[in-house]
Structure 1
Amino acid sequence: MSWAIEIGESSAAKMSEEVPLLDQTPSLFNVLRRGTTSSILRALMLVTGLTGPETSLASAEAVAIARDLAQRGLQLHDVLRIIRIGYAVLATALLDAIVEFDGRAHELRRVSVLLFDVVDDFASILTTAFVEEERLREADASAARLDLLRTLIDGRPVDNAAATRLLSYPLNAEHIALIVSSDKTESIDPVDLRHVVDPVFNAWAAPLAKLIVPIGAHSLWAWAAFAPSATRRVDSRLPNYDKVNVAVGQPGRGVGGFRRSHLEAKAVERLRALSESVRPTTIEHRDVDLDALLLMDTQAAMQFVSRYLGPLASPDPRITELRATLELYLEHDHRLSEVAELKHISRNTVTYRVQHALDMCAHPAGESTTRLRNALHIQRWLPGDNLEQSSAGRSDE
């Protein structure tokens, strides 16, 4: 017993010497010494035949040390190095003792082979315990970060300094938020989605810091922190990705900007979810901010479109063409020639389509077209079958 205690202390001391992260507090050294001593005692009993060959060197104390090291933030390579050091100290001590008290070659060989056999099992048990604890620790940290993010997004007060530490992200910077997602039927995982983030953020500048949080298996939230002077490069175009949706918020400063940029990206996601025709792409909030505002209440938006477009809201391809021509006509201040050139049709065809569209929506001559313009604008995002149901509901009233 005294031999096991002596070698256990030597082993713990050697580990602390060669792995500086272990040499922090007396309490940690004592925990380490208990673990090494218990494993050495098991090895001694195994070698002397006091226990069967199925005995493992991995005592409960040794497993507890592996979990403790994970909680302290050590890496797996540190644990493997500690195991190698412990094995070297144990093997040297046992073989030296055999040479001193026995000296027979076959006994040296027997003990060497036995130690070699059991150390693999010992390393496997300890590394498994370490990895499991590391995953639990990461899951706890991820859950805490996600809870904090939801608190920030909800607009509830937080301690900015504590939040910055937990997120490892500067909340007092200029922020741009992304929401990246893929079709759930496609084989794209969060690791793949992470590769989308950098090229989008780099359209502004190299970020000071990034925060990337996977949300389920097919989506992630991301923020980048920039210096206050960072602006979108004039010649930069945001990349598009096959089968991947990217929603981009607008820049915002501080905690308020962090929250607002994410909510803007969320608004883009909401728009995309409404549309049956928008293919996976990158969409900036600044390009659809009016659409997002008008469609905050989807049911009210559908009623608005039905009220001011009537039959012109139909998804029929011929009516869709009438609607597109009317929208161009209104956007270009009623200039027939410009619309004809853009659509590659004659002025007479433009005139016919515009008049037919106005007749279909029963727009009074001479009345302001503001509501009509907005109805045409937001109709592009709304599913046609829902609009038809909304129109039928109004006609029944």
Structure 2
Amino acid sequence: MAGAATGDLEGAAEAVMRAAGATHRLTVVAGAAALWVWFPAGTAPVLKDLAGHPEVRVAIGRPGADVDGFRRSHLDAAEAQRMLTRLTSPQQVARYEDVQLVALLTADPTQAEEFLADTLGDLLHADTATQLTVLTYVREQCSTTRTAERLYTHRNTVLRRLARADELLPRPLAENVVAVGAALEVLRWRRT
């Protein structure tokens, strides 16, 4: 946890601990504006934001057992934190299991930019609605019906946005689904 006054960090640590269903935690003060927190939990907590702690940023590692799991979880969280910093991400919470691919893809910023430009072409600079529609379509296993339901929009709107995306992409989406989805995940974490 980083980025705020000690009181905010402590409050956020308590919120994360509660979300994980833990009753106690181990806390190390890593700096004036950073805490490292471990708690016994079988799964990583799912948090979208930390209401009441807008300045706090949280990176969560994968749960693990024993000393090796403790160490790996810490290294995972540190990598998620580096990725958030590298991308100047506005996201407040990052679970390593959610950002592992993005962290890998953005480890070299120059190559990441080339990957985005080569993969997305003009979709890189398209409106957010079109990008979000394509990302949701990929996540929904290329189902326009499920994409429309997820986005609370009409199926024809989804089809129109997908057609627009195909005009903007260097290769048709159907031929490059995995790479386009990965590139849009990078944009989602990098978005300002």
TM range (shorter): 0.7 to 0.9
Corresponding residue number in structure 2 for 1:373: 181
- Cα deviation 1:164-199 (Å, max 9, x = unaligned): xxxxxxxxxxxxxxxx1125xxxx2x3552343244
Please state how far the C-alpha of 1:312 moved relative to its aligned partner.
0.9
Q: Distance in 2 between matches of 1:310 and 1:289?
A: 24
Aligned length: 188
Q: What is the alpha-carbon distance in structure 1 between the residues aligned to residue 145 and residue 77 of structure 2?
A: 38
Give the % identical residues.
Answer: 31
User: Would the aligned equivalents of 2:59 and 2:94 in 1 still touch at CA under 8 Å?
Assistant: yes
1:99 corresponds in structure 2 to none
CA-CA distance at 1:287 after TM superposition: 2.7
Letter in 2 for 1:290: L
Structure number with bigger Rg: 1
Matching residue of 1:250: 62
**Do the aligned partners of residues 341 and 304 (structure 1) sit closer, same or farther apart at CA in structure 2, a change above 3 Å counting?**
same
Q: In the superposition, relative to structure 1, how do residues 335 and 376 fare at CA in structure 2: closer, same or farther (>3 Å)?
A: same
Write the letter of the residue equivalent to 2:37. A
The answer to whether 1:335 aligns with 2:143 is yes
Instruction: Note the C-alpha offset of 1:248.
Output: 1.5
Cα drift, residue 257 of structure 1: 2.5
Query: Equivalent residue for 2:13?
Result: 197
Secondary structure at the aligned position of 2:59 is classed as strand
Partner SS for 2:182:
helix
| Number of the residue aligned with 1:272 | 84
State the match for 1:306 in structure 2.
Answer: 117
* 1:248/1:264 contact within 8 Å kept: yes
TM-score, structure 1 length as denominator? 0.42
Q: Give the structure-2-normalised TM-score.
A: 0.79
Report what 1:69 is aligned to.
none
2:30 corresponds in structure 1 to 214
Q: 1: CA distance between counterparts of 2:33 and 2:8? A: 10
Deviations 1:339-374 (CA, angstroms, capped at 9, x unpaired): 233334333322221111112112147524221221
Q: Is the 8 A contact 2:60 2:96 kept in 1?
A: yes
Displacement of 1:260 in angstroms is 1.7
Distance 2:71 2:100 in 1: 16
d(CA) in 1 for partners of 2:54 and 2:191?
Answer: 23
Cα RMSD between the aligned structures?
2.9
Contact kept? 2:8, 2:56, Cα under 8 Å: no
TM-superposed CA distance for 1:276, in Å, is 5.3
Instruction: Tell me, in whole angstroms, the C-alpha distance in 1 between the residues paired with 2:93 and 2:172.
Output: 39
Question: Could you say which residue in structure 2 is the equivalent of 1:287?
Answer: 98
Structure 1 portions without partners, runs of 5+: 1-179, 385-397
Amino acid at match of 1:310: G
Alpha-carbon distance in structure 2 between the residues aligned to 1:211 and 1:337: 46
Moved more, 340-349 or 242-251: 340-349
The verdict on how the C-alpha distance between 1:371 and 1:232 changes in structure 2, with shifts beyond 3 A counting, is closer
User: How has the CA–CA distance of structure 1 residues 261 and 237 changed in structure 2, closer, same or farther, with 3 Å as cutoff?
Assistant: closer
Counterpart Cα distance in 2 of 1:306 and 1:365: 15
Farther-moved stretch of structure 1 (295-304 vs 332-341): 332-341
Letter in 2 for 1:247: A
Shift of 1:383: 5.7
